Amino acid sequence: MITSCANPSCRIPFDYHYGELYRFPKAHRPDEQPPNTHSVQHFWLCGKCATAFSLSYSGTVGVFLQDRSESAPLRECKFVASA
């Protein structure tokens, strides 16, 4: 369940009227089967953070903030959830 903004520097309470929702595959260990074919995690960026950042997913790293003005991850990568 989403409770707050995914930006570790923000964390304002979730408001579904304001911001952007993201959906990524839920990570599981390589030696285990996924619980089901619909294993996903949901993340939310508040409206203020969504204007400056987006969330990206890497199967080896996890979910991280990406600056919208650049196509590369932030220099100091802010991980949201590990893979």
pTM above the 0.85 mark?
no
Digitized pLDDT (tens) for each residue of the chain, 83 residues in all:
789 999 999 989 999 889 999 998 876 666 776 666 667 889 999 999 999 999 988 877 788 888 887 655 545 556 576 55
Q: What number of CA atoms fall less than 13 Å from residue 82's CA on the CB side?
A: 1
Q: In what order do the strands lie in the sheet with 53-58?
A: 53-58, 62-67, 79-82
Other CB atoms within 10 A of residue 35 CB: 9
> What's residue 49's pLDDT?
95
> What's residue 83's pLDDT?
52
> What's residue 69's pLDDT?
77
